[in-house]
Structure 1
Amino acid sequence: MGLALRWQDVDLKEGMIHVRRTLVRVTNDSGSGKTTLRYHEPKSKQSRRIVPIPEALLPALKAHKARQNEEKLLLGQAYEDSGLVFCAEDGRPLDPSSFSKRFTELAANLGLNGVTLHSLRHTYATRLLEANEHPKAVAKLNTLFVKKKIPSAPGGK
């Protein structure tokens, strides 16, 4: 989902994202049943990867970073700067479950019933294949298809 993504993991010059961690809600060790957000290593080797940023997205990311820097200046010490790319206005991490639920609600309000963040991964992979991207390249970008046997690229790549 990208809610653990830090700016230090985004290379805007080279157009690459380094996936190094995830953000999950876990039960506290206190036995109280309360939960907290924690950063974890990705579950699998395939999840820890470098993903190219589509060129069309780079200007939007740069503008987002500029807006976020303005918010930091406005809030001053009240801004909790953990270097997150996607965070609350005060810099705190966004709850993955709440974020996902809100996305689904917004999609439904636009008449896109049943569209979830997870389903966008399928759509992304499908659109790449329709644009004649090689299946191996799509598999590297979208780990949903890694379990399937995919033919090698021409020339054995």
Structure 2
Amino acid sequence: MGTRKPNGASSIYKGRDGKWHGRVTMGVRDDGKPDRRHVERKTEAEVTREVRKLERERDSGRVRKAGSSWTVEKWLTYWVENIAAPSVKANTTAGYRVAVNVHLIPGIGAHRLEKLTPEHIEKLTQKMQKNGSKPATAHQAFRTLRTALNEAMRRGHLTQNPASLAKSPRLTVIEVEPYSVAEVQRILEAAGDRRNSARWAIALALGLRQGEALGLKWDHLDLDKQALRVRRNRLRPKYEHGCGGKPCGKKAGYCSQRKQTNDDTDDTKSAAGRRVIGLPASVVQLLLEHKEVQGTERRRAAQLWQEGGWVFASPTGRPLNPNTDYHEWKRLIKDAGVRDGRLHDARHTAATVLMLLGIQERAAMDVMAEPKQS
């Protein structure tokens, strides 16, 4: 008769079903009972390999929690709504939701979480690009998955992150070509005839991002001290239906009784984004003139004006919608007769704009210096 193995020792045996079985004690479960794992294979060699693999995981401290029934879909849904959403900015959460719901769940959601492999992930991102997704979109989905799986690993649902082993989609670096002096002159001339004309001169001259420019309030500016504090970022508004039990049939954003579900602004993207920018005298003058024009609009709108303190506002005082602002930029560069370009890339033209506003080169370099923390 063989010697009885001590409690907790691994065992390998051939069952009555003709298959080989292995049992490994991995630790203690949350209820205090032994966490005993079972593997089943056709041959003794195969089951021995699986037993040794479990033992290595146990000995290295990389043990997946017992009874895990997570699929990739269940985990990603839980992660984005219960872990990511309460802890990151609204825009970041929105990007995560798109990656999860549009790309990741349809592509790999059916896999068991612990069975997901680097090859599954690589095939997904390759398929996305074959189906027309841009490399940046595939890369964003990949990064979102890697972040979600890092959290799964931290919580013991995975022993390693397959996204960390997979090859990330290759990104094509697009070189930004700033507008020339002649092009900037035409843009500024065309902007001068438009409502909120200062919005374009200020943003281009100071290198402000769209959200930073649209998130500006008058109390962020000290025109006497010629300083501007960047603090808030304008968010793209999100809506839900307000039409009650009888939906109007339109998208929520076009519902006549729509209700906005998010805030107008959020803190700037990073600590580096919260900065103080010195305002040259010519820029201060532009803002003073703009404030006077806005005062006239306020009086004209009368009771329709919704005071929010926005530097750049609608004719009734509401903050500008980023989508409306984007299309206004496209119309502006078309009217100016210059090549198409992203508003975000136009920030690289800031030094040129400062020169055209009559600011000496040394002063322009001071304005464009690394942002100061405050």
Q: TM-score, normalised by structure 1?
A: 0.74
2:361 aligns with one of 119, 131, 136? 131
Question: Is 59-68 or 112-121 further displaced after alignment?
Answer: 112-121
Question: For residue 329 of structure 2, what is the aligned residue in structure 1?
Answer: 103
Which residue of structure 1 lines up, in the alignment, with residue 233 of structure 2? 22
CA distance in 2 between counterparts of 1:63 and 1:77 reads: 23
Alignment root-mean-square deviation, CA: 3.0
Q: How many residues of Structure 1 are paired with residues of Structure 2 in the alignment? A: 140
**Paired AA for residue 277 in structure 2:** V
CA contact (8 A) 1:7 1:84 kept: yes
> Gapped runs of 5+ residues in structure 1?
142-157
Q: 1:71 aligns with which of 272, 291, 297?
A: 297
Letter in 1 for 2:216: L
- 1:83 aligned residue: 309
1:74 to partner: Cα distance: 2.1
Q: Could you list the runs of 5+ residues in structure 2 that have no partner in the other structure?
A: 1-209, 242-246, 254-259, 355-359
Structure 2 SS opposite 1:25? coil
Match of 1:3 in 2: 214
Contact 1:5-1:86 at 8 Å conserved across structures = yes
**Structure showing the higher helix proportion among its residues:** 2
> In 2 relative to 1, CA 105–137 (structure 1 residues): closer, same or farther, beyond 3 Å?
closer
Deviating 4+ runs (over 2 angstroms): 26-30, 32-38, 125-128, 130-139
Q: Which amino acid aligns with 1:78?
A: L
- Are the counterparts in 1 of residues 277 and 367 from structure 2 also a CA contact under 8 Å? no
Alignment-mate amino acid for residue 94 of structure 1: L
Aligned counterpart for 1:13 among listed residues 224, 230, 248: 224
Between the aligned residues of both structures, percent identity stands at: 28
Structure-2-length-normalised TM-score:
0.33
Deviation at 1:113, TM superposition (A): 1.6
Q: Please tell me whether Structure 1 or Structure 2 has the larger radius of gyration of its CA atoms.
A: 2
Note if contact 1:108-1:115 (Cα within 8 Å) is conserved in structure 2.
no
- Matches of 2:307 and 2:239, distance apart in 1: 23
